[in-house]
Structure 1
Amino acid sequence: MDRPAQPFASVRPRRAVDAIIEQIRDRIQSNELKPGQKLPSERDLAEQLSVSRNTVREAIRMLEVSGLVTLKKGATGGAFLTNSNSAALSQNLIDGIALRQYNVKELIDVRMVLEQYIAAQACENASDEQIEELAALAQASRQAEDDVPEYEQRLDLHIEFHRKLSEMSHNGVAETLTGPLLEITRHFHLETGPTGGPETHETRQELVQALRERNPEAAKLALAKHFAALQSRLLVSHPD
């Protein structure tokens, strides 16, 4: 079982749950605890922290809600640090949109700024092989319009194109932020149904060509055209 090098420090019962969460967060930020690592058992943590197992259980439950910890059952189960907070962040944003804390225009505006930055970085950092892989995804997405009747499968190809583009920036923060935004975009498209047009594939070809030429301004222009069309389509179904 993976355990931190040093025992956890005992805490005051009055704020024990908060103190436990703070210690675990601190160790994540310092990389002492890493994604996928299993935390000590409830009993071990309770002994190290000088608190009850119920207190430990409550702290772990709150960490699970926040998306930092995943609970697994069985003999090899326990509390594991998640590999990514994207799913939890995506759900929080989707819930916020449902409560009208955000709207479609705000989503598209943020995506455009972020992905234009990503495209510019990809012009500098992506390998030729990665660019050709993106080109293949664009071609597969275009072909799927004729060959794949299931809309969700075609949508997944659209989303994968943008995920791949984010990887090509070689910027981990930008890639992490892109994931939840794409999940929300997918959520909207599943609600509205097919709304794409030929301009989607045309602007992707322009983007791929700009990447091949290592031309960041042309890449940003292609994305601006794409997002302008996307925003006009989504606003029809989500005017608020």
Structure 2
Amino acid sequence: MNDGQDLAFHQVRTRRVFEEICEQIRQRLASGVLKPGDKLPAERDLAVEFRVSRPAVREALRTLEMSGVISLQKGVKGGAFIRDGNPQLLTQSLQDLMFLGRVSLRSLAETRELITGVVIKLACERATEADFQAIEQNIDFIAGIQDLQQRGEAGALFFRLIAQATRNEVLMMLVDSMGDIVRYVVDKAGRKPRPELVPIRRRILKAMRARDADAAMKNMGEYLAVIHGDLEGEPVEVVRPGRSLQAVTRNAAVLRGGAVAKKMPKTAPKAAPKTVSKTAPKGTATAAARLAPAKVAATRAGRRAA
């Protein structure tokens, strides 16, 4: 953005105020007026230009920061800066949806299989000898190591190298995002040695070098069947409304361990308790307890009005 360039924001008239602010900033980004690295005007100046309160601007900036559009930096030279695109945000969004129960592992695995088929087909058409050599070196590296964590990281690179051969950045982001989530689940469940995958990788590479997309896709299907087979029936704790992430983490071991599961009650209580113990651990307050302050405030307001 050139110094002195008018961003031409308009007075907010519709929606919730902070949403309209976010939308206008996104529009300037889409039109090219704002570019990665540009610094937005100060909070006070934005409030004047939008003709809104500073808290509304502050909420909009926080929303854009959580969305990965801007970064908020402190200090004399700080401020709100437009960020470069970060594919990791896609991974985080999909992972959050999975934890919230909106995306199932089965759907994720199915989508990964479909997209990988497209990736293999394009890679067979567009890959160069340099791509094939990089994939071959990756396979040789995996075959020569025993550490399961390193093998997992190298396995993720195997998919990334194939995606890079498509010369399609969107496919690369999708492959990385879904692969990262699958790795997370596998790591939580406990990795298993899979020596049978090395020869399958070599068959995939051989078919790709021959530009035989059908054979490459068939072998990739066999590969993914092994990987995704570990995910079937794997319990992934989701974050229910009113539950804390700490509680989810504590229950993860209970879900996977039969011995520990015996300690859990067979049925959940039908109703949440009306009160919360003063000694209850942080993050375990019920919805009723969280609403209690609001009810007290409403009661006091009613008494004052009376």
Counterpart Cα distance in 2 of 1:138 and 1:45: 53
CA shift for structure 1 position 2:
6.1
Deviates more, 1:208-217 or 1:13-22: 13-22
Indicate if the aligned counterparts of 2:99 and 2:236 stay in contact, CA closer than 8 A: no
Q: What's the CA shift string for 1:78-104, capped at 9, x where partnerless?
A: 323333343333223223322332222
- In the superposition, the TM-score normalised over structure 1's length comes to 0.85
Counterpart Cα distance in 2 of 1:42 and 1:206: 58
Name the amino acid aligned to 1:45: L
Q: What's the CA shift string for 1:209-240, capped at 9, x where partnerless?
A: 12211221122112101111112122153499
Do residues 154 (structure 1) and 151 (structure 2) align? Answer: yes
Name the amino acid aligned to 1:92: S
Which position in structure 1 is the counterpart of 2:8? Answer: 8
Name the amino acid aligned to 2:203: E
Which position in structure 2 is the counterpart of 1:221? Answer: 218
Q: What is the 5 A alignment of 1:108-147?
A: 108-145=109-146
| Structure with larger RCO (C-alpha < 8 A, sep 6+) | 1
CA shift for structure 1 position 112:
0.9
Indicate if the aligned counterparts of 1:125 and 1:169 stay in contact, CA closer than 8 A: yes
Counterpart Cα distance in 2 of 1:4 and 1:229: 58
Counterpart Cα distance in 2 of 1:35 and 1:141: 37
Q: Give the share of equivalent positions with the same residue, in percent.
A: 31
Counterpart Cα distance in 1 of 2:150 and 2:4: 42
Over 3 Å counting, the alpha-carbon distance change for 1:21 and 1:166 in structure 2 is: same
Q: Helix, strand or coil: the match of 2:206?
A: helix
Counterpart Cα distance in 1 of 2:222 and 2:118: 15
Counterpart Cα distance in 2 of 1:77 and 1:152: 39
CA shift for structure 1 position 196:
4.1
Q: Helix, strand or coil: the match of 1:70?
A: strand
Indicate if the aligned counterparts of 2:71 and 2:81 stay in contact, CA closer than 8 A: yes
Indicate if the aligned counterparts of 1:144 and 1:154 stay in contact, CA closer than 8 A: yes
Indicate if the aligned counterparts of 2:186 and 2:230 stay in contact, CA closer than 8 A: no
Counterpart Cα distance in 1 of 2:4 and 2:168: 28
Q: Helix, strand or coil: the match of 2:35?
A: coil
**Structure 2 gap ranges (5+):** 238-306
Over 3 Å counting, the alpha-carbon distance change for 1:22 and 1:105 in structure 2 is: same
Counterpart Cα distance in 2 of 1:203 and 1:177: 22
Counterpart Cα distance in 2 of 1:111 and 1:75: 45
Indicate which of 209, 223, 232 corresponds to 1:212.
209
Counterpart Cα distance in 1 of 2:88 and 2:175: 12
Counterpart Cα distance in 2 of 1:23 and 1:128: 46
Q: What's the CA shift string for 1:20-46, capped at 9, x where partnerless?
A: 111122233334433444433323433
Do residues 48 (structure 1) and 49 (structure 2) align? Answer: yes
Which position in structure 1 is the counterpart of 2:247? Answer: none
Counterpart Cα distance in 1 of 2:156 and 2:4: 38
Deviates more, 1:220-229 or 1:96-105: 96-105
Q: In proportion to residue count, which structure has more helix?
A: 1
Name the amino acid aligned to 1:141: I
Structure showing greater Rg: 2
Which position in structure 2 is the counterpart of 1:105? Answer: 106
Which position in structure 2 is the counterpart of 1:190? Answer: 187
Over 3 Å counting, the alpha-carbon distance change for 1:33 and 1:169 in structure 2 is: farther
Q: Helix, strand or coil: the match of 2:47?
A: helix
**Structure 1 gap ranges (5+):** none
Which position in structure 2 is the counterpart of 1:60? Answer: 61
Counterpart Cα distance in 2 of 1:196 and 1:236: 19
Number of residue pairs matched? 236
Which position in structure 1 is the counterpart of 2:160? Answer: 163
